[in-house]
């Protein structure tokens, strides 16, 4: 499968725990985006990278969220001290510069 | 920042009829407008997109129109089929830096 890959597909965690998600973009795509989607809503922008540089981070993103793309390939999104409001689908997308973005299947997070 | 509004939130049509979904955006710097189809439990999939230097684009039964002056763009699906049933999202972007999505339209095509 040469598409965007996300792991894990599902994550259930207790409130207060830390979680980390991984995204493997399409090979050679230099842009990588993270979005969050709640039921019945469109994807909400979280952050994006060009190569290893994090170019923008949403003001909606609290300090508990951090993302990295250390070698310009895969990326990780970490949520510290999870809260019930963090329950959502976390989507990753990748693209070449100035071209369409392709989404992964997402990681569904449930905080109990 | 950009604000994208999408209407209607739900749309029910008879198989074979046309469906139209409309979006408006607020940032005149937006110059790229993709449409995604999302089936239940699946990833959003790009179905068509349009750049600001073009007013209309067609791909078989799907077309998108863009009115830059009015800041709105629309998705048109002709000869709808039951497999077109899904949630459709419009989005707007300035130079592909990030994408602002509408709230989605749930399309139901009745056989």
| pLDDT tens digit sequence for B62-94 | 999 999 999 999 999 999 999 999 999 999 999
The structure tokens listed for B111 are: 């056989």
Helices and strands in chain A, H and E counts: 0, 11
- Collect all residues of chain B within an 8 Å Cβ-Cβ radius of residue A91: 43-44
**Mean pLDDT of the region A39-48:** 92
Residue A96 binned pLDDT confidence (cut-offs 50, 70, 90):
very high
Answer for the pair A1, A59: CB distance below 8 angstroms, yes or no.
no
| Nearest Cα to Cα of residue B101 among A4, A38, A63, A24 | A38
> How far does CA A79 lie from the centroid of its chain?
10
In tens, the pLDDT along B23-72 reads: 999 999 999 999 999 998 899 999 999 999 889 999 999 999 999 999 99
Q: How many whole angstroms separate alpha carbon A1 and alpha carbon B19?
A: 33
Whether residue B95 is predicted with pLDDT greater than 90 in this model: the reply is no
- Collect all residues of chain B within an 8 Å Cβ-Cβ radius of residue A42: 4, 6, 89, 91, 101-104
My answer on whether omega of the bond before A81 falls inside 30° of 0, hence cis, is: no
- Collect all residues of chain A within an 8 Å Cβ-Cβ radius of residue B46: 100-102
Look at A56 and B89 and tell me if their CB atoms are within 8 Å: no
Look at A99 and B95 and tell me if their CB atoms are within 8 Å: no
Look at A101 and B42 and tell me if their CB atoms are within 8 Å: no
Look at B44 and A95 and tell me if their CB atoms are within 8 Å: no
The answer to whether residue A68 neighbours chain B at the CB level (below 8 Å) is no
Give residue for tokens 């979280």.
A46
**What is each CA distance from A16 to A41, A64, A83, B34, B108, in whole angstroms?**
25, 11, 6, 37, 40
- Collect all residues of chain B within an 8 Å Cβ-Cβ radius of residue A41: 103-104
> Quick one: CA torsion of B35, B41, B43, B45, rounded to 10 degrees?
-40
The answer to whether residue A41 neighbours chain B at the CB level (below 8 Å) is yes
């Amino acid at each position: 499968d040469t598409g965007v890959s996300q792991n894990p597909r599902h994550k259930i965690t207790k409130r207060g725990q830390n979680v980390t998600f991984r995204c493997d973009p399409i090979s050679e795509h230099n842009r990588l985006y993270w979005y969050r989607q709640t039921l019945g809503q469109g994807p909400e922008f979280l952050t994006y990278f060009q190569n290893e540089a994090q170019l923008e981070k949403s003001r909606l993103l609290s300090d508990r969220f951090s993302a990295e793309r250390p070698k310009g390939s895969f990326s990780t999104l970490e949520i510290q001290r999870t809260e019930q409001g963090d329950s959502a689908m976390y989507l990753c997308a990748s693209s070449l510069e100035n071209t369409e973005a392709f989404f992964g299947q997402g990681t569904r997070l449930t905080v109990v | 920042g950009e604000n994208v509004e999408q209407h209607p939130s739900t749309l029910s049509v008879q198989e074979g009829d046309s469906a139209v979904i409309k979006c408006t955006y607020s940032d005149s710097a937006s110059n790229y407008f993709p449409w995604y189809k999302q089936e239940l439990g699946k990833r959003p999939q790009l179905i068509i997109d349009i750049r600001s230097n073009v007013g209309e684009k067609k791909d078989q039964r799907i077309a998108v129109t863009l009115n830059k002056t009015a800041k709105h763009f629309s998705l048109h699906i002709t000869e709808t089929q039951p497999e077109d049933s899904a949630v459709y999202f419009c989005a707007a972007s300035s130079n592909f830096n990030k994408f602002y999505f509408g709230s989605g339209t749930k399309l139901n095509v009745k056989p």
